[in-house]
Each structure stands twice: as structure tokens, then as C-alpha cells.
Structure 1
Amino acid sequence: MMELKLKALAKINLGLDVLRRREDGYHEVRMIMQTIGLYDRIVLRKTRKPGIRVKTNLYYLPENENNLVYQAAQLLIDEFGIRSGVFIDLQKFIPVAAGMAGGSSDAAAVLFGMNRMFRLGLSREELMRRGVRIGADVPYCIMRGTALAEGIGEQLSALPPMPRCKVLIAKPSVSVSTKFVYENLKLDDATRRPDIDSLIEALHDGNLEGAAACMGNVLENVTIPNYPVIAQIKEEMIKGGALNAMMSGSGPTVFGLFAEDKLAEKAYQKLRRGDLAKQVYLTDIYNNAGKRV
């Protein structure tokens, strides 16, 4: 039976602004998305018996239609009348419900793998158009790299690659409800917003320090007052030499960007020894240039 091994890469938000709440309940956003080297491992296997079977390494994750990998496989099975079954072995390393698009990236990897395994002949753009039916972040997770995301996150424009740096990831033990964050977000003239345009300009200039200085996440206005540990982790990273540190997505994961590998390693070890974060990883920026997607 044919088998594919896939990597589902995590993302961070270098900048996240919310423009308004739409009448359909969704929020219109303007974000700079960036893929990083932290990833989940997926093995996709064709089976003679029809149907979809999912296995994960985390007991609390669904192994049925409530998992986005199942939904991704089902979408293409239904559209193309695929008669074979598929077995999906999902090994999670990206923090769950942490603002890093882990579930969306898993779904994107399965769409990519199903397209290849069953020779469906779909282009990347065609996969992205299907991916948005699973989740707003899925098209970006298929695209990868550095991108401006607008609309509800599905309108994507490629940007110059983020300059190389180390990325320190730390997730505290708290859980944050995305729904709670967006429902409590107040948008007015006093709202502190990131400078997305200056961030884009820094990326065009290849200016790592400039890009880091422009980072910002409007959702921190809600999340940090309710979960002060996020601010503590940010402060720890900056004290440790990060160019800047910020919450990714609606949190609670915090990331710091480091120009110097030694400083990043030292900050990583310190956070691992401390009690601020439950999960700590040190990884790199991932860019599409010269790499197979």
C-alpha cells in the first residue's frame, strides 16, 4: 500500500490587526503570516478498505470527523469519488489551541498528500480554494512562507521572505478561547494597533531589526490583561536578548525573534528550566525559496 510522510509546519503572526467585525460574525483582519520550522508529522497511507481512519499521539484529540485532517481527506474523497480508504497517523508537536494554526496546517498537509497520492492533478491554487472550506488559515498553510492575509485571513499576497533568525516558542499552561478574545476586543481610536505597512516595508528592505520593531498583535489588548503570564514570557524573552517578542494569534503562545543563535539557545534553556511555560521550542524561520513545498 502506498504511504506518504508529510510535515505540517506551524505559523506565527508577525503582525495581526483586526479592522472590523462583519455582519456575518467574522472579523476582517490584516495580518503578516510566517511559517516556522516547528512541525507535526503525518503519515498518510492508502488502504483497500474504504473510509477514513485517524490515529493521534494525544488522547484528547478527536479521531473522527471533528478532526480537520479527517475533514480534509473527506473533502477530496467526496469530490473525486475516491474508492480507496486512507489511514492518517498524526503525531502532534505544534502546541494545540495555541494560535499557531496547527490544526489548519495538518489539514493543509493532508490535502497536499491526498492530491499527490491519488494523482488528482490539482494546482496549489486549486488546493487553496478548497482549503478555505475547512478553515480560514488552511489556504495560507498550503501556501507557506511570508504573506499578507486579509479578509477573514483567506485573501493572501506573498511578501519578501523574512530574514533568517531563531524563533523561540513558549506556551504557558493556560488555555485561551479564541471566541472569548474576539468577543471582548474593543476597536476604537484608543486601540493600540500594529504598523502593518511599516512591517511590510521592512520585509521589502530585508531589515530583520526593523521588522521586529514593527511587530504587534491587537489581540494582546484582550489576552494579556486576562492572562498576565503572556506578558511575563514576553519580558523574559526580551531580557534574554530577543529583538522583540509577541503573542501569536489569539494566544497563549509567545514567540521571540533572535538575531544571535547563542542568545536564543541561552533564553531557550532558561525558559525550559523555569515555570512560566509548559512547552518550549527553539526553531527557525521557514521560507519557500529553494525549498520544496
Structure 2
Amino acid sequence: MTIEGFAPAKVNLSLHVTGQRADGYHLLDSLVVFASVGDRLWLDKTDTMSMEISGPFANGVPTDARNLVWQAAELAGVKGHIQLEKNLPHGAGLGGGSADAAALLRSLFGQLVDDGIGLEGALSLGADVPVCIGSIPQRMHGIGDLLQAVQPMPRCHIVLVNPSVAVPTGAVFEGLEIKDNPAMDAFDGFEGVAALVGWLQSQRNDLEAPARAVAPVIGQVLDALDDALIARMSGSGSTCYGIYPDSAAADSAAARIRRAYNNWWVVSTQTAGQTPS
């Protein structure tokens, strides 16, 4: 039997770092959505573990126990041959290996972490794994262990841009000077794109400054998205997103950026949610 999974790109619309625990884990407060672009994987159950990687970003991805998908299968007590199609760039702030591991667990156990290996097990793979298992708009806080579904949430037309520069998450957090920043402003879902964008205007990504210190090109990416309703960096970078009023505007912006920067990864896509408004 073949198990198939889809790992949508995780987009942090906002990301506030609100503290750091004694054990070193950072406390986050983030509004997370998922795009319709992502990696794909297939698992054929066998008596042994093996893995192969394909796709435009296959180069450099481990095909052994270093891979989080492999680790997720072991954690779930499953063996087999895993095929992973890498369509998302590495070190991009889009979920990466955590999203891939979550896709496997979601395919095995369904939407809820507690139906499978438990929250603690999912967190052992990475702080982003629990939120990626749901793949729905969520508020993620704590160390990634506190999740709250966000409804209503409009479906957004977005452009994702990565300058083909990987940013190590550890280096970004090490460069964060202030650890105890204010949490996100209160919200109770968003009735439309205008309400969401209006709220985002006063939110932040606290990791943007240290990420730009590691990869100054992030500033150039944000400048390229200056015609968006709002543009921000996602996660720890280096991918940035821009929200556009409709698909035509998003497609046009993506085409313009591709022409100007033909070595960048540029995608016009949508996020999960209700009808745009």
C-alpha cells in the first residue's frame, strides 16, 4: 500500500519572539497559514527503510536517518521506501523538513497530533511539526506546542520569493538581540483580506533584522514586493511573501520579479482559507 502526502509551504504572516526558556527554547507568537505549493512524498511499506529524493531542490537533501521524514517514520513505527519530491527551497522559512515530516504523520494518522504519536513526539522532530500537521490557519505560540485554529480566515493571493540564499535558523536566533518582545495584538479571525492586512500592518517578524544581517539580500526581496498590499519575511527567512488583491495582480508581480531576478525562486499561489474578499 502506498501512502501519499503533501507538505504545503508554511508561511508565517507574523512572528513575534516573546521570550526564551531556561533550556534555550524560544517562545513564539505567530500567525501561520499554508500555501497551495509544496513538497510531495510517497511511502511504500516494506521491511526496511530506504529513501530517494527528486525535484528541483533535491540536491543536498539527506537520504538516511538524518532526514526528518525518515525520523518521523521511525517515530511512528513504520518502515518503507520513501520518495520525497522537493519543490520548496532549503533554509527558506517555509517549513522545510518539518513540513515534510508532518506530511508523513498526517497521512498516517490524520489531522490531530494526539491521534498519532502525541504532541511531545511531534515536537521532538521540530517546533514547526505540530502546526504543519494541521496545515490550516493557526495561531502558534509557546515553543510550537500551543495551537489555536483561526476562523474565519480569507484565502489570500500571495507571491513567495526566495533569493536562492539559505539562512540557517540557528544563526538567526543567535543574532536576535531582544528575546522578550510583545505578543501579537488580539484578534478573533478576519472577515476579509482588508481586515487581515490592516491587522498585519501593526505586527512584526522579530527575526527579520537578524536574518537580514545574515542575508542582506532579504531587503532586496522585500523591495521587489513593494507593490503588494503588505510584504514581510516568513519564518526565519530568507523567503518573503507579498499579499495581492487578486490572482491577476499576484501573477503579474511574480512575472515582473522573475524577469528582473531570473535566479530567484518566485511563485504566485494561494493560501488555505475561505473565499477572498
**Fold agreement, TM-score > 0.5:** yes
Contact (CA 8 Å) 1:215, 1:244: kept in 2 or not? Answer: no
Question: In the alignment, is the contact (CA less than 8 A) between 1:56 and 1:63 conserved in 2?
Answer: yes
Q: How far is 1:20 from its partner?
A: 1.6
Partner of 2:48: 51
Confirm or deny that 1:155 pairs with 2:146. Answer: yes
Out of 90, 94, 101, the position equivalent to 2:88 is 94
Percent identity (aligned): 35
2:212 aligns with one of 220, 224, 229: 224
Cα distance, 1:5 vs. partner? Answer: 2.3
Q: CA deviation at 1:214?
A: 3.5
Q: Distance in 2 between matches of 1:220 and 1:276?
A: 24
State the 1:8 CA deviation: 1.1
Which 4+ runs in 1 deviate beyond 4 A? none
**What is the aligned partner in structure 1 of residue 253 from structure 2?**
267
Task: Determine the C-alpha separation between the residues in 1 that align with 2:109 and 2:151.
Answer: 28
Shift of 1:252: 0.6
Residues 33 and 135, structure 2, Cα contact 8 Å, conserved in 1: yes
The one of 186, 189, 201 equivalent to 1:213 is 201
Label 1:4 to 1:226 Cα distance change in 2 as closer, same or farther (>3 A).
closer
Q: Report the AA paired with residue 264 of structure 1.
A: A
Deviation digits for residues 189-228 of structure 1 (CA, Å, limit 9, x no counterpart): 9x7x6x7225x35x34442332442442011121224433
Structure 1 residue matching 2:148: 3-state secondary structure: strand
TM-score by length of 2: 0.88
- Rounded Cα–Cα distance in structure 1 between residues aligned with 2:248 and 2:90: 28
Matched-pair contact (CA < 8 Å) for 2:102–2:132: yes
Residue among 104, 107, 123 paired with 2:98: 104
Q: Give unpaired runs (5+ residues) of structure 1.
A: 117-121
Question: Within 1, Cα distance between the matches of 2:5 and 2:255?
Answer: 29
Indicate if the aligned counterparts of 1:44 and 1:113 stay in contact, CA closer than 8 A: no
Query: 1:253-282: CA deviations, max 9, x gaps?
Result: 111111122221111001111228621111
Q: 1:165 to 1:112 in 2, by over 3 A?
A: closer
Q: What secondary structure does 2:266 align onto?
A: strand
**CA distance in structure 1 between the aligned counterparts of 2:18 and 2:263, rounded to whole angstroms:** 31
CA distance in 1 between counterparts of 2:113 and 2:165 reads 36
Counterpart contact for 2:7–2:39, Cα < 8 Å: yes
Q: Distance in 2 between matches of 1:188 and 1:22?
A: 10
- Which residue number in structure 2 is paired with residue 181 of structure 1? 172
- Hey, what's the Cα distance between the residues in 2 that align with 1:165 and 1:219? 23
Corresponding residue of 1:126:
115
Paired AA for residue 145 in structure 1: I
Aligned to 1:282, the other structure's residue is in SS state strand
Structure-1 residue corresponding to 2:129: 138
Q: CA deviation at 1:14?
A: 1.0
AA aligned opposite 1:110: L
Q: Is the 8 A contact 2:18 2:179 kept in 1?
A: no
Report the Cα distance in structure 1 between the residues aligned to 2:10 and 2:220, rounded to whole angstroms: 22
Q: Secondary structure at the match of 1:113?
A: helix
Distance 2:202 2:213 in 1: 22
Corresponding position of 2:16: 17
Q: What is the number of residues matched between the two proteins?
A: 268
The aligned residue for residue 119 of structure 1 is none
Rate the CA distance shift 1:215–1:267 in 2: closer, same or farther, 3 A: farther
Q: Give per-residue Cα distances to partners, 1:71-112, cap 9 Å, x unaligned.
A: 0100111xxxx6xx4111000112211111121111111112
**Whole-Å separation in 2 of the counterparts to 1:175 and 1:157:** 30
Q: Which residue of 2 aligns with 1:237?
A: 225
**One-letter amino acid of the structure 2 residue matched with residue 55 of structure 1:** E
User: RMSD value over aligned CA atoms?
Assistant: 2.3
Q: Do 1:230 and 1:254's aligned partners in 2 also have CA atoms closer than 8 Å?
A: yes
Residue deviations 1:121-166, cap 9 Å, x none? x954333523122111111111121111111122111111431221
